[in-house]
Amino acid sequence: MRERTDGQGFATRAIHAGERPDPTTHAHNTPIYATATFAFDTAAEKEAAVDAALEWDPTSYFYSRTGNPTNRALEEKIASLEGAEDAIVAASGMASVSATLFAHLEQGDHIVVGDELFAITVVLWQEDLPRRGITVTAVDMTDLAAVEAAITPRTRLLFMETSTNPRLRVADIPALAAIAHRHGILLVADNTFLGPALLRPIEHGADIVLHAATKYLSGHGDAVSGVVSGKKHLLDPIRKQTDTFGQAASPFNSFLVLRGVRTLPLRSAKGSENAAALARFLEADERVDWVRYPGLASHPDHAVATRLLGDRCGAMVTFAPRGGVEGMAAFTDHLRLCDIGVSLGDVFTLVYPRPKDGGIIRVSVGCEDVGDLVEDFALGLSFVR
């Protein structure tokens, strides 16, 4: 087949990286390799493939738990977009989080984590890590002095979200990377809420970046997947952990995420544009107590967000309607266009009411016409007293 290129630009690589017409059938889309095992002509060929795969060569295939061509196409695409040496896909975002932590921590180690993280990540560090003799300190990652003070001689890594769940705090990644590297430890960044079209943490000094690919990478709410990227020597133990924990990605889900990533730059731009407009609308309404969006001047991390993200600050907005939990329910329960849902990163706008957080609402802003979104939110607010 003729020589091909992935191109140089981000949008071009989002479409082309990791993918080629199938060499056997010339199918244009990457096939779904729905196979558990791979066949060999000789015993020696089989042995060589197994040996290479277990030295964590991701292109040596013998069993789909360890490696699969559809999964590999997605890994190569994400590595290209993140500016990483390699990437590993897994069954879910939490599979990527847990494999990363367990690969780089052992009994007696200590980690510093952000004090606002995804709920199941919190379960991991509050319950599972301590059972394995790993101690954890949670701090506000926007407070650099607190981060520095939390590091001990046993600290092995810092774990943070680039935009926190749900209050959208944005920490200074280059400053955190400088702190981590001064102490000889890793900076691990969960970039799920932003995605690589808006922010590439490795470019700012992070060692490892991970995503729930279920969210913005997929973008259509139809696949559960996770991915972690970084230097190969840091990823090889994560690949081994993903394999030994049985956290392999489904080739079908990887096919769906591959499809979704091709439009990631377009969706990220439109989602950011819509979110900024919706945040401004909410901030101007007297029935809203407060709004958190990094693109607003009122956001506590606006200066850092602007430095890292420019004028595209993501598609997540969090706000508190007047009246606490009652106001929250009055708003969400009268929407006619936007659905109540706990996920994010979809082309559909999803609202996530959080009564346990005092009645705040987290919004994953989709790609609809912004006028329709504003109209629906105005309808919801009309029921807030």
Query: What pLDDT is stored for residue 182 in this prediction?
Result: 98
Our separate counts of H helices and E strands in the chain read 14, 12
**Sequence ranges of the domains in the chain:** 83-250, 264-381
Our CA angle for 122, 84, 247, nearest 5°, is: 45
Q: Smallest Cα–Cα separation from 67: which of 102, 35, 41, 23?
A: 35
Q: Residue 230 region, left (φ>0) first, then alpha (ψ -120 to 50), else beta?
A: left
User: Which H or E element spans position 158?
Assistant: strand 155-161
3-state class of 314 per DSSP? coil
3-state class of 360 per DSSP? strand
In single-letter form, the type of residue at position 144 comes to L
Structure tokens at 131: 């059972």
d(CA 65, CA 53): 11
3-state class of 46 per DSSP? helix
pTM listed for this prediction? 0.95
Structure tokens at 146: 């607190």
d(CA 240, CA 364): 34
CATH of 83-250, one of 3.40.640.10, 3.60.10.10, 3.90.79.10, 2.100.10.30: 3.40.640.10
Tens place of pLDDT per residue across the chain (385 aa): 677 788 899 999 999 999 988 888 888 999 999 999 999 999 999 999 999 999 999 999 999 999 999 999 999 999 999 999 999 999 999 999 999 999 999 999 999 999 999 999 999 999 999 999 999 999 999 999 999 999 999 999 999 999 999 999 999 999 999 999 999 999 999 999 999 999 999 999 999 999 999 999 999 999 999 999 999 999 999 999 999 999 999 999 999 999 999 999 999 999 999 999 999 999 999 999 999 999 999 999 999 999 999 999 999 999 999 999 999 999 999 999 999 999 999 999 999 999 999 999 999 999 999 999 999 999 999 999 9
Phi, psi of 149 (to 5 degrees): -70, -25
d(CA 132, CA 113): 17
Domain 264-381 in CATH 3.90.1150.10? The answer is yes
